[in-house]
Copies of this chain bind each other. A is one copy, B any other.
Amino acid sequence: MTFIDQLNAAWQKNNSLLCVGLDPDPAKFPGQLKGRDDAILEFCTAIVDATADLVCAFKPQIAYFAARRAEDQLEALIAHIHDRHPGIPVILDAKRGDIGSTAEQYAVEAFERFQADAVTVNPYMGRDSVEPYLAYPDKGVILLCRTSNAGGSDLQFLDVGGEKLYERVARLAASEWNRNGQISLVVGATFPAEIARVRELVGDMPLLVPGIGAQGGDIEATVNAGKTANSTGLMINSSRAILYAGKDADYTAAARKAAQDTRDAINLYR
């Protein structure tokens, strides 16, 4: 199954547009995990097992693992998701961006070493920085388009001949760069009008939408702006609001409840 096929199946099976972001910060872990060598893996697999029937994807953020020499735990986490929750795609949030043989190495990192189903990629270096990932026909490539941070406007909102830079990225990603339908886009939830504009430009291409929950994006506006005709098309990411919903012993139950509430809140507007 390709990433897109898996995503379509997970949207249906779990009736969910929710993507749970796995950004493990040991300083926020419950007390019973403190000091354990495998705390990151233990925390993340517990969150995964508590929410897997409520999500359309999981999105581990590699920086949190790399900062702590925990690549082995990231490998084990993704293997765990594939093993215990087959059919739920894993997006490696790495935002890589390079060219030629270096980009090929990053593709090996994401798809062969970590066995991710999709990876986030930065478009600044252009089409040939995306192609090495597209060489894996089953995999997804999720390009940064319009990001939810304040500085996102510094470049992305510049006018490039009658459209904004992020609109140009969306058009390129939906046309000449996307020969085999493997590309999706990142569009932040803090700008619903821009989600709507991207949706207009890219047809039914999946959009990964960070920025709800801890980052304050509006669920109703996001879903209305971004859903496709069949009420899918979105991977709405929440990380901290789910991971750290509870403290100590109850953290998995609290995470499950937060995921369920978020999924249901999203589904109200589909």
Question: Number of copies of this chain in the oligomer?
Answer: 2
- Do residues B124 and A155 form an inter-chain contact, with CB atoms below 8 A? yes
Interface residues of A in 138-185 (CB under 8 A from B): 144, 147, 149-156, 158-161, 165, 168-169, 172
* Contact partners of A99 in chain B: CB under 8 A: 147, 149, 151
Contact of A152 among B112, B126, B155 (CB under 8 A): B126
* Contact partners of A98 in chain B: CB under 8 A: 63, 95
A: contact size bracket: 35 or more
Asked if A53 is at the interface (CB within 8 A of a chain B CB), the reply is no
- Do residues B109 and A97 form an inter-chain contact, with CB atoms below 8 A? no
* Contact partners of A125 in chain B: CB under 8 A: 144, 147, 149, 151-152
Asked if A71 is at the interface (CB within 8 A of a chain B CB), the reply is yes
- Do residues A165 and B154 form an inter-chain contact, with CB atoms below 8 A? no
Indicate the member of A67, A112, A124 with the most B CB atoms within 10 Å.
A124
Question: Measured between alpha carbons, how far is A68 from B129 in the docked complex, in Å?
Answer: 20
Asked if A127 is at the interface (CB within 8 A of a chain B CB), the reply is yes
Closest to A161 in B: B159
* Contact partners of A112 in chain B: CB under 8 A: 67
Asked if A122 is at the interface (CB within 8 A of a chain B CB), the reply is yes
Asked if A23 is at the interface (CB within 8 A of a chain B CB), the reply is yes
Asked if A66 is at the interface (CB within 8 A of a chain B CB), the reply is yes
**Beyond the given A63-B106, A67-B113, A125-B149, could you list 15 further A-B residue pairs with CB under 8 A, ordered by the A residue number?**
A63-B98, A63-B109, A95-B97, A97-B97, A97-B124, A100-B149, A123-B124, A124-B124, A124-B144, A124-B156, A125-B152, A126-B152, A158-B168, A159-B160, A160-B165
Query: What 6 pairs between A and B have smallest CB-CB spacing?
Result: A126-B151, A126-B154, A63-B105, A128-B151, A67-B108, A127-B151
14 A-B contact pairs sorted by A residue (CB < 8 Å)? A61-B102, A61-B105, A63-B98, A63-B103, A66-B106, A95-B96, A95-B97, A95-B98, A97-B97, A97-B144, A125-B149, A127-B154, A129-B151, A158-B160
